[in-house]
Every structure is written in C-alpha cells, then in structure tokens.
Amino acid sequence: MIYDALLMLWDCSRNAKVSQPEPLSYANEGDAIILGRIYEIAKSHHEIQNFTLGTGFHSRKSQTGAGHRSNGLYGQALSEGISEVLESYKETLKEVEGLIIGNQNYTLAFVYSYVEKFQGLFNTLNKIICTIKERRLSGCQILSLVHQCILSGDKMVHKAILKIFTCINNVFINQLCTWLLYGDLRDPYEEFFIYKTKKNDVSDTFLSTPSSSNTCDKSLVSTLQQTPLDCGYSINPNMIPYYIPLSLAQEILFIGKTVVLFGFDPKKVKKHSSLTNRSMLTLQKMNADSRRFTIWEEKEAEFHEKLQKLKTPEFFEVCNLRSVIREIKECVTKHLWAVAVEEAQLIHELHLMKDFYLLGRGELFLELLRLTAPMLDKATTRTSTRDMNHAFQLAARAVFLSNSADVEKFSFELPYVKPNISLSANSTIEDGSSTVADGWSTIILKYDFKWPLHLLFAPEVLARYNDMFRLLLRIKKTQHDLHALWKTYKQSTRFSMCQLHNKLMFLMDNLQHYLQADVLETNFSRLMEAVNKTNDFEKLKKAHATFLADILSQSFLTVTSCNDSDSGDTLDSINNPVFCNIMELLKLCDSFCSISDFAENKEAEEYYIRGYSDKFNKLVKQLMQLLVSLRDRPCGVYLARLLMRLDYNRWLSGEAQLTQSVTNMLRY
C-alpha cells in the first residue's frame, strides 16, 4: 500500500483525473484517513502538473502550429516557475523512496509526514490556476495575480510564489526595457499593457472645423496638455499591473512614444503622402543607432543595468521602478526640450503664434482687413481660399514682410460648404435652412511649424488658437469700421447719432484694450517667464497649456459647467452667456456701420437711432446682470475686470438705467 501511495504522489498514472484507491486492508486503523490525505495532495499535484504541461513551451509551440490561441509568454513563464517550485517536491519524494527501500517497516504516516508541508503550497497554486482559467487572465494580469499571492504567513509558500513571480517578472522587465530604451514593443501575444493601435488617426480636416464641447468632464488645461503623440500606441487599462499606478503607466507610454518619435520625421514624408490614405503618415525611419546615442547620451548601458536589477526580488519594489522610470523620463524630456527649444526655435515660434494668431502684428491685419473685409462678409466660394491667401501676400508686401520666411509658414483656409438650395414644400426661406456661414465664422489660419513642435501644437491646440483668432479678428474689424465712421460724423449736427457712435467706439476700444493688454500681453509674459526657467519639456508643455487655457477663459471662450464647478472649464464657447453678449454687441456695431447715411426724414432717423440705442442699453444691462450671476465662477473675475474698465466713472451703468453701479455690485 505504501508503494501505491508513492505512485499517486509521483503522478505516474497520467490520467485526466487521479482515482482514489479502494481500501482493501490496512495495517493500522488510521491508515485509511492518512491515505485519503495523501490522495488530496496527489490530486492537487496532478492538477498543477496538467496545467504546466498545457502551458509550457512545448505546448505553446504545438498550439501555435495548430492555429489555436496560445497561452503566451507570461503563461509559459508561470509554467516554468511552477516547474522550478515542484523540483523540491520531487526531491522530497526521492528521499522518501530511498528511506523506504532501505527500511520496510515505514508506514503511510511516515510518507505523509514528508509531503504534508506541500499541502498549503499546492492549494495556493491551484487557487492561482483556477482564477486564471475562470477569469481567462493573460499577460500582465497573470503578473498582478501572482504578485497578490506573495504575502503569506507560510514561509514555504512565500518563497515559492516569489520564485514564480520572478520568472514572470523577467518577461515583464524585458518587454519594459525594450520599450523604454528602444521604442520597440515585442509583444507577439498582446500581453503587455501597451499595445499598437489599429484605429485610423484624426485627419487634417480637424483644423477646418470649429471646436466642439466633447470633453466636459476634463479641465481645459489637462485637455490641452494631454494631447496624444501620434505614434500608434496606447494603454490597455485592463492589462496594467495593480501595483503600477495609471500615472506611472502613462509615463512609460510617453517615454516609449518619444523614443519612437525621434526615429521618425513626418515632415520628410508629408509631401509624399497620398490623399487617399490620410489615416496616419507613413513615417520615414532615421538611423536607429544614432538616434539612441543622441537621446541617451551614453546612458543607455546605465539605464539598462538599472532595469535589469528590477528582475531580482530583493530590488524589485514599486518605489525603485518609479525611480528608474523618472530618471529615464528626465533624460528624455531634457533631450526633447533641447530639440524643441534650440533646434526648432520654440521661443521664436511662440512669438510667431502671438504675432499671427493673437494679432500681435496689428498693421499686417489692418491691411489684410482692408483687402478682404468685403469677401469675408459674404458666404465662402470655391475660390475664397485662393483669394484670401493672395490678399495675405499683398498685405505682407504692403507692410514690408513679403521677404520674411515667417510669413510663408502661415496660410488661410476658407472651407467651402455647398448651400442646400433644395427646400421642402413646408419650408420657407425664413427658416434659414439654406443659409451658409460667412467668412468671419469659418476662416482658418494654418501654421506650418517645425518638427517636433507638433507635440506642443496639436490639432486641438491649433483649433483653440483659431477660436481666439476669429474673435480678435472680428473685434479688430469692428473697431476699424467704427473709427472709419468718425470722419463721417465729426461734422454732423445730429447729436444723437454722434453720441451713439461714441458709445459704440468707446465699448470696442476698451474691449480691444482689455483683450490685448490685460489678457494677451500679461499671460504671454508669464509664459515666456516659465519657458525661460525650465529645461523640462513636460513643464514647458504644461505652461503653454495653462497660457492657452487662461487666454481662452479670460476671453470668455469657455464656460464652467453648471452641474459641477470643480469639473473645470469646458470647451464650449457657444453656451457662454458673456461670449454671446459680446457677439450681439459686435453684430449691433456692424449693423450700425452698414448704414451709409440716413434720409432727410427726421422721423425715420430718430426711429433707427432709438432702436440701436435701446438695444445697446439692453446688451450693456445684460453684461451688468451677468456679472452678478457669474461673479462666483472663474469667468466672473475677468468679466468684472472688463466692466470696471468700461464703467470706471459709473457713466455706462447710468446710461443702462441700472439701480446700482458695477462698483456697488462687486461689494456684495
């Protein structure tokens, strides 16, 4: 009977299930119970042995050849680790066999006394195996599961699980090392938490459409800062090991993407990309050896050694992993900063963004408005883009900028939308179903920046700059038109007309000064100060995102969510009541400027003037009321600053027939 017990423990039957032997005769009364316990140990070993045979290297090779789904590298590593742990069990059985052969008087209790210590280990291993099968875990999910089982009060179980975790962790560290240092994702079975995306990238038409509010749950700064690197890789949250926080996983993704990025130069192949395949540019690789040498600056061997140290159980800790990742990221970001600031001349490019997108070159855009205002007042045509760019070159030549290489980086686009002239039987012309937006609301300023500044000027960022550009251009045009009417009304004897003109001009001048001085110049000086103080590209990117978010918010192009004020600024300017009020004021000014002259009929003259004045007072009163309702929100602070400039002597609030001035409103 003792030899039958040894055969069970050795799992010599190789059957799908170990059968318990029938109790025939026992030397002692307790042998039946002891044999049952030995059977439970043998049964647990049998299940573990079947798992290792089904997930080992030879099994994975046969499954791959037969076309079945393979268990992958992590499953094989788990199988190899379990096999190493079972070696001590086999050595124990050899020892027991030798003792039994030398002494025939040993009983089943003697055999059980040697194998009893493996019961806790086998239970833990079977628990891991059952969890993997039930949840269908793979890759880094297996790594997380084994890591959770390391902490155990049984020293033998702790030591065994730690050895198994080390085998699986070796696969993880090897994949992590090749990704971080070389940007190479060696993951044939899709087991790593970073995977190669198969979706198409966003097309260039993103720049031709105004921004929409689709990220209400994110703050504007984080949305602008977390612009993805278009390298075709992303994070699979289900595969992230539980001991690695999401922020650290994002840093790992960023490092690998940056290394991949330096192997490509999209500007070299952009000219050769076909119009039919615009999902992702086919990037042209540079020399890989020179790329790595440039990024790591002879630190590649040092980083590789630190990563390989993480394979040892004594050194592997989350804090040590985080420390190595931070060192590698610091090296990458410093190199990225050097390329962006020194080679791509980022500071000069930021000044260009201010001069063109934020109308820093006022004389250029004044000349451009003189040439293109009639065209932008109408709906766009098929030749609008060509005419606009031609006028831009003429304006640059008029202000002596035609020979500047910076002007060639910018171009205009006026998207043509074919009007829908087919009206249904029940629709009328007044429904507006066939109307097309004019050039002021659809104009796009494009920017051909240097590589790799697309990490900073992502499509979403350029769309935000275009929102700001359209607002500033519209205000500049309205202000110019109002000033052009001064010559017409300066000799006029119609006091009411001149007074209304002065009110509108006063409002536009102060609005323009508020945007240019209080908003743009102040925030741009802060941005330059932050850029000059850092040599970290991530901090530089955050400073630029903060700058853009600040000018958008202070220009009332964003609105805070009413449901949750802590959720941040959304990207919706249409629903901002202050922005809508300003646009109504601009429309009022444009309508006033479009009237060339009044007829001699005094009654008609008074009728028009009274209508414009009433609407002006109504809009100004709405601005005052918005201050009261929005003063607890972020935009309320900037609105108060603007209205204090407009109502510094309490004259405007008096004209709007308010019961109290802005100063009194701000006290409560």
Supply the DSSP string of 321-365, one letter for each residue. HHHHHHHHHHHHHHHHHIIIIIIS-HHHHHHHHHHHTT---HHHH
The answer as to whether 468 is a domain residue is yes
Query: Does 32 share its domain with 53?
Result: yes
Region of residue 245 (left: phi > 0; alpha: psi -120 to 50; beta: else): beta
Q: From CA 74, how far away is CA 55, in angstroms rounded? A: 10
Compute CA 255 distance to the chain's CA centroid, rounded to the nearest angstrom.
14
pLDDT at res. 431: 44
Least Cα distance to 329 among 275, 405, 252 occurs for: 252
Q: From CA 441, how far away is CA 661, in angstroms rounded? A: 34
Query: Does 497 share its domain with 606?
Result: yes
Q: Which long-range contacts (CB under 8 A, 24 or more apart) does 89-92 make?
A: 89/45, 89/115, 89/118, 92/118
Query: Does 381 share its domain with 525?
Result: no
CATH number of the domain encompassing residue 579: 1.20.120.1900
pLDDT at res. 599: 47
Question: Using N-to-C axis directions, what is the helix angle for 108-115 and 72-102, rounded to 10°?
Answer: 150
444-447 and 410-413 beta bridge pairing: antiparallel
What range defines the domain where residue 593 resides?
459-561+574-667
Q: From CA 414, how far away is CA 437, in angstroms rounded? A: 11
The answer as to whether 266 is a domain residue is no
Rounded alpha-carbon distances, angstroms, from residue 480 to 401, 475, 520: 22, 8, 20
Query: Does 517 share its domain with 648?
Result: yes
Q: From CA 193, how far away is CA 144, in angstroms rounded? A: 12
The answer to whether 334 and 327 are in contact (CB under 8 A) is no
Among the candidates 121, 151, 175, a domain finishes at 175
pLDDT at res. 357: 92
Please calculate the CA angle 222-227-229 and round it to the nearest 5 degrees: 145
Q: From CA 434, how far away is CA 595, in angstroms rounded? A: 26
Count: domains in the chain: 3
Q: From CA 163, how far away is CA 185, in angstroms rounded? A: 26
Query: Does 655 share its domain with 535?
Result: yes
Query: Does 475 share its domain with 602?
Result: yes
Query: Does 645 share its domain with 662?
Result: yes
Sequential DSSP letters for 266-326: HHHHHTT--SS--SS--PPB--HHHHHHHHHTT-HHHHHHHHHHTTSTTT--HHHHHHHHH
Question: How many C-beta atoms surround the C-beta of residue 523 within 10 A?
Answer: 18
pLDDT at res. 500: 83
Q: Which residues pair with 411 in a beta bridge?
A: 446
pLDDT at res. 344: 83
Among the candidates 457, 488, 507, a domain finishes at 457
Six-digit token string for 136? 């269908």
pLDDT at res. 655: 65
> Computed from CA positions of residues 11, 13, 17, 22, in that sequence, does the dihedral angle turn out positive or negative?
negative
Least Cα distance to 6 among 48, 47, 42 occurs for: 42
- Residues found in the chain: 668
Query: Does 374 share its domain with 513?
Result: no
Query: Does 520 share its domain with 613?
Result: yes
Rounded alpha-carbon distances, angstroms, from residue 561 to 465, 570, 573, 583: 22, 7, 12, 21
Query: Does 545 share its domain with 407?
Result: no
Q: Which residues of the chain have pLDDT under 50?
A: 65-69, 201-218, 267-293, 423-435, 561-572, 599, 668
DSSP code for 204:
G
Cis ω on the peptide bond leading into residue 415 (within 30° of 0)?
Answer: no
The answer to whether 5 and 111 are in contact (CB under 8 A) is yes
Query: Does 555 share its domain with 659?
Result: yes
Query: Does 485 share its domain with 443?
Result: no
The answer as to whether 339 is a domain residue is no
pLDDT at res. 229: 56
The answer as to whether 637 is a domain residue is yes
Which residues, in sequence order, are CB contacts of 231 under 8 Å at separation 6+? 257, 260, 261, 264
The answer to whether 570 and 559 are in contact (CB under 8 A) is yes
Among the candidates 431, 457, 483, a domain finishes at 457
The answer as to whether 293 is a domain residue is no
